[in-house]
Amino acid sequence: VIEIGQPEHSVVTTCAYCGVGCSFKAEMRGDELVRMVPYKDGKANRGHSCVKGRFAYGYASHKDRILNPMIRENINDPWREVSWEEALSYTANKFRSLQEQYGKDSIGGITSSRCTNEETFLVQKLIRAGFGNNNVDTCARVCHSPTGYGLKTTFGTSAGTQDFDSVEHTDVVILIGANPTDGHPVFASRLKKRLRAGAQLIVIDPRRIDLVRSPHIQAAAHLPLRPGSNVAVLTALAHVIVTESLFDEAFIREKCDWSEFEDWATFVADAKNSPEEIEKISGVPADEMRKAARIFATGGNGAIYYGLGVTEHSQGSTTVMAIANLAMATGNIGRPGVGVNPLRGQNNVQGSCDMGSFPHELPGYRHISDDGARDIFEKLWSVKLNDEPGLRIPNMLDAAVDGTFRGIYIQGEDILQSDPDTKHVAAGLAAMECVVVHDLFLNETANYAHVFLPGSTFLEKDGTFTNAERRINRVRKVMAPKNGYADWEVTQNLARAMGLNWNYTHPSQVMDEIAATTPSFAGVNYDLLEREGSIQWPCNEKAPLGTPVMHIDGFVRGKGKFVVTEYVATDEKTGPRFPLLLTTGRILSQYNVGAQTRRTQNSVWHEEDLLEIHPHDAEQRGIRDGDWIRLVSRSGETTLRTKITDRVSPGVVYTTFHHPGTQANVITTDFTDWATNCPEYKVTAVQVSSSNGP
């Protein structure tokens, strides 16, 4: 029983977990948070919430939080608490001396999708204007970077096309590589409501997720494909649509490049892409693929929703483009009820990408080589910007091992736990002379840090998050920062220590700078957000109150671009030693690596990660439900308990990755998406055998 006092006042703010971006009233008694109440006027959630947003805020006052800056010369030395002044001047001196010794490009930084837009904007500004290079990357590298590449290439902008309200107008939904009942629960409720009202559902997922069959919902089709065969299955659906003339010729002729469509249609119509041929690759019965394609093409308004089961593949960007092809071919873009909708994992993954956290892109997705775009920032910041793309996270680590990359500022990201090839990440971090971790807790990456800067929670700062529907939601300070400074102030103070003349007194001024430099944010300011509650970008002269549905009068890039998406098998192969394919996901009550959800008071949430295995595969190995097993891949091994279930197909096993002890990234491979380096977390060849436990 949790004793709750009576609140005295409340502050409306935004959940800091998933990309749905629910609004809450934080009810306070003095400086104490009494409870989080879902806000009925929140446009993303309309008074609904899930357990994480409502109850999992205890981490903000958890005893593990570090509240004072610390430094150490050597990672084997004990930490020494120091003043903010000492920590920041130590960092600035170290970074400057590394640049003098090894060159301008020897340092860089990583922004966080957990931080606000304003904080992210300032980190990339510090790196571009202060460090003098473009060595900035974000944790979106390991989740939705293929969304950025794929949707920009095909539609012209790196974002989902719809608002969440759109689902109420849909007639048929393809849900691929996403499990919203666990990952995006409030959106899942809206989707379920629409399905119960008669919309049809096609699930493309190796697992029989809850939505395939749940009370009053029965998917019209479930395509339980082999992990790694997304592109093949989507191409088979396209084959049916083209060969049976189910495509929307009028839409394509008006909105897309017709000759590119013809090239694509010739490609998908090839016999090698027929459902019968693709069945051999994917394991999905050809009839089911034919049925799904016909339902989607003829069922009315068709919408596609997807998650990390699409992006975290060696063909992640190709899969996103294959989805875009399917939507364009069926005319399902540019009105309510249709569209291509990435379900973003983290609260501000859309925003961190919008804010120029990529080494090749300025805020607003303009390439760093774009003279006009650079000129805007150069004039405002009084600097000359480097026009060469900088290093991505994996390249920073490679360069560290090679001795040319020597220092890094990491805000709100535990790369040792979240990034692929843990051994290589550790080697890269260990090779650097100055690793600065700016976070709430001493995370795994901090084992390699020389400076620790305490971070602030979403309750302790003002700013904005941008959710999966491009909605810019206000984050409002509920209590004073326990460490003395909000994260944006820490970045500003570091910039000042490095000699930059920054004088922001409130994040609203940072938003004004974003609006002044970034066309899709041109009309955004805190007064407007106060009046409207939230705004979906693009928000500018043409759309002063934002844009719920994009590409209505044509695509942002002009004509929609069909891209030939040839299926290429992953290099990760099964064989006698590693006969099963491991794929991964989340559960409702935990969040990513669990840094926050594991630090709540509610012990019910401390569930362990389990390995789901099909009864046939379990029986072959003499494994019973609940047994400890040894999970071995070419990269490493771990131990887990099993859950025997036919939710997974024979030959496929599945686990979550919320607990550090699971060490899922010790198991996964170092294969990455060809276009963006997003890791292929969703396909790992493994062997499973009995074990006595860890």
Closest to ligand SF4 by CB, 21 vs 227, is 21
Closest to ligand SF4 by CB, 273 vs 589, is 589
Closest to ligand SF4 by CB, 17 vs 95, is 17
Interatomic CA distance for residues 440 and 230, integer angstroms:
37
Dihedral angle, C-alpha 355, 358, 362, 363, nearest 10 °: -10
Minimum CB separation of residue 344 from ligand SF4 in Å reads 10
Among 14-22, 218-226, 608-616, 650-658, the segment contacting ligand SF4 (CB under 6 A): 14-22
Contacts of 614 (CB under 8 A, 6+ apart): 644, 645, 646, 648, 649, 650, 651, 652, 653
Closest to ligand SF4 by CB, 18 vs 191, is 18
**Please, which of residues 125-184 interact with ligand SF4 by CB under 6 A?**
184
Comparing every residue's Cβ against ligand SF4, the nearest one is 53
Q: Any contact of residue 304 with ligand SF4 (CB under 6 A)? A: no
Closest to ligand SF4 by CB, 52 vs 561, is 52
What string marks each residue from 173 to 192 as x (binds ligand SF4 by CB under 6 A) or -? -----------xxx------
For 143: left if phi > 0, alpha if psi spans -120 to 50, otherwise beta; the answer is alpha
Minimum CB separation of residue 45 from ligand SF4 in Å reads 6
By CB under 6 A, name the one of 12, 13, 21, 599 that touches ligand SF4. Answer: 21
Q: What angle do CA 8, 9, 11 make, to 5 degrees?
A: 155
For 412: left if phi > 0, alpha if psi spans -120 to 50, otherwise beta; the answer is left
CB 31 within 8 A of CB 10: no
By CB under 6 A, name the one of 12, 13, 20, 520 that touches ligand SF4. Answer: 20
Q: Any contact of residue 22 with ligand SF4 (CB under 6 A)? A: yes
Closest Cα partner for 34 from 63, 3, 71, 76? 3
Minimum CB separation of residue 556 from ligand SF4 in Å reads 27
Minimum CB separation of residue 42 from ligand SF4 in Å reads 9
Q: Cα–Cα distances in Å, from 437 out to 205, 222, 298, 480?
A: 37, 44, 52, 22
Minimum CB separation of residue 115 from ligand SF4 in Å reads 16
Total number of residues binding ligand SF4 (CB under 6 A)?
Answer: 14
Interatomic CA distance for residues 611 and 605, integer angstroms:
18
Minimum CB separation of residue 187 from ligand SF4 in Å reads 7
Minimum CB separation of residue 188 from ligand SF4 in Å reads 8
What string marks each residue from 424 to 443 as x (binds ligand SF4 by CB under 6 A) or -? --------------------
CB 642 within 8 A of CB 614: no
Closest to ligand SF4 by CB, 302 vs 309, is 309
Q: Any contact of residue 345 with ligand SF4 (CB under 6 A)? A: no
What string marks each residue from 40 to 59 as x (binds ligand SF4 by CB under 6 A) or -? -----x---xx-xx------
Closest to ligand SF4 by CB, 194 vs 290, is 194
Contacts of 610 (CB under 8 A, 6+ apart): 640, 641, 642, 643, 655, 656
Interatomic CA distance for residues 4 and 514, integer angstroms:
40
Closest to ligand SF4 by CB, 255 vs 461, is 461
Among 16-24, 27-35, 372-380, 494-502, the segment contacting ligand SF4 (CB under 6 A): 16-24
Minimum CB separation of residue 25 from ligand SF4 in Å reads 13
Closest Cα partner for 119 from 666, 483, 492? 492
Minimum CB separation of residue 44 from ligand SF4 in Å reads 7
Residue 104, token pair as written in the block: 């301008």
Q: How far is CA 638 from the centre of its chain?
A: 25
Among 18-26, 480-488, 577-585, 666-674, the segment contacting ligand SF4 (CB under 6 A): 18-26
Contacts of 662 (CB under 8 A, 6+ apart): 609, 638, 640, 655, 656
Minimum CB separation of residue 185 from ligand SF4 in Å reads 5
Contacts of 23 (CB under 8 A, 6+ apart): 12, 13, 14, 15, 38, 39, 41, 42, 43, 44, 45, 473, 533, 534
By CB under 6 A, name the one of 17, 149, 458, 555 that touches ligand SF4. Answer: 17
Closest to ligand SF4 by CB, 186 vs 281, is 186
By CB under 6 A, name the one of 15, 139, 167, 632 that touches ligand SF4. Answer: 15
Burial 177-200 (b: 16+ CB within 10 A, else e): bbbbbbbbbbbbbbbbebbeeebb
Interatomic CA distance for residues 55 and 57, integer angstroms:
6
Closest to ligand SF4 by CB, 44 vs 327, is 44
Minimum CB separation of residue 307 from ligand SF4 in Å reads 13
Q: Cα–Cα distances in Å, from 577 out to 489, 502, 616, 664?
A: 52, 57, 18, 19
CB 130 within 8 A of CB 498: yes
Closest to ligand SF4 by CB, 17 vs 562, is 17
List residues near ligand SF4 by CB under 6 A.
Answer: 15, 17-18, 20-22, 45, 49-50, 52-53, 184-186
